[in-house]
Amino acid sequence: MGTNFYGQLTKALVILIGTLVIVPIIFGFIGFFLPSFGYFPILGKSEFNLNYFHLSLNIAGISKSIILSLFTGLVSTLLALFFSQVILLYLFKTRAYNYIKVLISPLIALPHITMAIGLIFLFSPSGLFFRLISPWLTGFDRPPNIFIMPDEYGLFLILGLILKEIPFFILVSLSALQEFSAKKIFDLGKSLQNSNFSSWCILIFPLIYKKIRFVIFIVIAFTASVVDMSLILAPSTPSTLAIRILQTYQSSDADSLFIASNLALIQLFIIIILLLFWMILEKIVSYKLSFIFLMKILSFKTFFINKIVVFTSVILFLLSILGIISSLIWGFSANWYFPNFFPKSLTLDVFINFYNENKFIIFISIFISFIVSLISSLLTIIWVELIEFLQIKKIYLEWIIFIPLFTPQISFLIGLQSFIILFDFDSYLLPLIIIQLFYVIPYSFIILAPSLREIKKEIIIVATSLGKNRLQRLLSVKIPIVMSSLLTSFAIGMLVSFSLYTPVYFFGAGRITTLTVEALNLALSGSRQDLGVATLFQIIIPILILITVAYLSKKICKWRF
């Protein structure tokens, strides 16, 4: 009877967890889908109609916003992918290859807005760049009256996005490279008289691409609907569609919820269109003739192109570093007026004041990300265990947890908001943690689940024969084996949660503010010194998380299989 009872219990648990995860995701969709057709019974509207499409497409400048979103999403993904491959190609087979991971990890760990803020500090007319060449070269004794950023085509938004996505693509490509004998294939290509570049493109890239295709789709969905970076780097007359949705949703017009939901649906269409377009692009590129044609173009004057590409990559890397450094200097500056390249004096006051005033925010930011990441790792372990207990080979529905990553954040959140309004939550922390879980679980799952499932059967059999029960096996055998993945998943979970902006903005409702939200507010209106300090914390905390986890995994994971 015992096993039967446990079997039933496990099944019930699997169904329960599955439901708890799937239902909000479904409602996240329904919550903006139905109102966009004018259906929202709580507000007394229960008739379907297409009026809101008409209304939302007639908002002033909305087509420009849509084009801007399409453009920035597509171009930034393409460029980031291109540069990630070029950088890998040049570092492949050099000694630096072994250090790439160390070098880019901090860049990946930083929140998106940190990079955006760095760009402001560099490129605004009173930024570091003009200070560097003024007044000796330009004659400017005051910031020039030129219009650099945010530019009307969203080029700076693209720049900001690729600075974040290049390291990300490099990281996922690196792990893809480990899965096949890339070096051998590369040498094979070289022995057939191909250049480095063409060996990479013909032989290695397709293999990498197959493995990271999924990630590319996520990046497309993200970049075409990004909110936080748009607020800082996108033009404001008009801004990207994501920002327009946010503005509409918050306006006090009677129909704002319906129009915003409708725009959220349009935002989803945009992602779908981009993904379809990308797939067509894949088809075209993989078509033999066009591929050869492309290779011909790329190998034409390779030397010249090489130089430009390498130069650009170096510049991009320098930009991210310089942006960060200038944010840090601002945090400690006193009296730093144009055109001084360096502040007249440095001070700790701003830092101390900021810390004293924002202690709680810093604490709550770390607390939330810790809790969210912990729950998310635990859920993953429990889920994998339960599924294994039931001896189910493959769960087809597992891909559902990735849906929030493919959906525009703003759309999904509007949907969830309409759903959550049904429960009369008194707490703001609880819904926020639940919502963040939807953005963190996919990462925990993708890192942790495979390593749990790859544990060799023999080890488990040995453990069982030693009289260990399921729980003991999990705690004393499985978890130690996957400890390094567990720690990685925990760290990534914390980093993802820490950098989330839109969910906190929406569900924290001003009552719960995290450092990321605060930094963005400062970027829009605060003093540059405070912004510098906020950025400093945004850099320190993720890096501390990384270091702690690296240290722990060295200490704990002494033995490996």
Residues in Cβ contact with 90 at an 8 Å cutoff, skipping those fewer than 6 apart: 196, 310, 313
Looking at the Cβ atoms of 201 and 420, the one nearer to another protein is 420
Cβ 505 to another protein, closest distance in Å?
A: 10
Looking at the Cβ atoms of 248 and 451, the one nearer to another protein is 248
Measured distance CA(38)–CA(49) in Å, rounded: 6
Phi-psi region of 154 (alpha: psi -120 to 50; beta: other; left: phi over 0): left
Helix H or strand E encompassing 464: helix 457-465
Q: What angle do CA 325, 497, 79 make, to 5 degrees?
A: 60
Looking at the Cβ atoms of 145 and 465, the one nearer to another protein is 145
Cβ 141 to another protein, closest distance in Å?
A: 8
Cβ 359 to another protein, closest distance in Å?
A: 13
Which of 373, 362, 331, 368 has the alpha carbon at shortest distance from 349?
331
Looking at the Cβ atoms of 60 and 471, the one nearer to another protein is 60
Looking at the Cβ atoms of 175 and 427, the one nearer to another protein is 427
- Positions touching another protein (CB under 8 A) are 42-43, 60-62, 64-65, 125-126, 142-143, 145-147, 150, 152, 235-238, 250-252, 256-257, 334-335, 337-338, 357, 421, 424, 426, 509-511, 513, 521, 524-528, 530
Cβ 437 to another protein, closest distance in Å?
A: 22
Cβ 357 to another protein, closest distance in Å?
A: 8
Cβ 28 to another protein, closest distance in Å?
A: 18
Structure tokens at 137: 């070269």
Q: What length is written for the chain?
A: 561
Measured distance CA(250)–CA(41) in Å, rounded: 20
Cβ 474 to another protein, closest distance in Å?
A: 42
Measured distance CA(366)–CA(6) in Å, rounded: 37
Looking at the Cβ atoms of 362 and 441, the one nearer to another protein is 362
Looking at the Cβ atoms of 208 and 410, the one nearer to another protein is 410
Looking at the Cβ atoms of 452 and 517, the one nearer to another protein is 517
Structure tokens at 101: 């991971």
Looking at the Cβ atoms of 151 and 398, the one nearer to another protein is 151
Q: Is 385 helix (H, G, I), strand (E, B) or coil?
A: helix
Residues in Cβ contact with 196 at an 8 Å cutoff, skipping those fewer than 6 apart: 89, 90, 190
Cβ 487 to another protein, closest distance in Å?
A: 36
Cβ 272 to another protein, closest distance in Å?
A: 25
Residue 146 carries which side chain, given as an amino acid letter? I
Looking at the Cβ atoms of 90 and 121, the one nearer to another protein is 121
Cβ 178 to another protein, closest distance in Å?
A: 45
Looking at the Cβ atoms of 326 and 376, the one nearer to another protein is 326
* Owner of token pair 């990046």: 219
Measured distance CA(135)–CA(57) in Å, rounded: 48
Residues in Cβ contact with 195 at an 8 Å cutoff, skipping those fewer than 6 apart: 299, 302
Cβ 44 to another protein, closest distance in Å?
A: 8
* Strand-pair partners of 346: 333
| Phi, psi values for residue 40, rounded to 5° | -160, 85
Residues in Cβ contact with 299 at an 8 Å cutoff, skipping those fewer than 6 apart: 195, 197, 198
For the chain, what is the largest distance between any 2 Cα atoms, rounded to a whole number of angstroms?
88
Judging by DSSP bridges, how do beta strands 345-346 and 333-334 pair with one another? antiparallel
Measured distance CA(317)–CA(328) in Å, rounded: 17
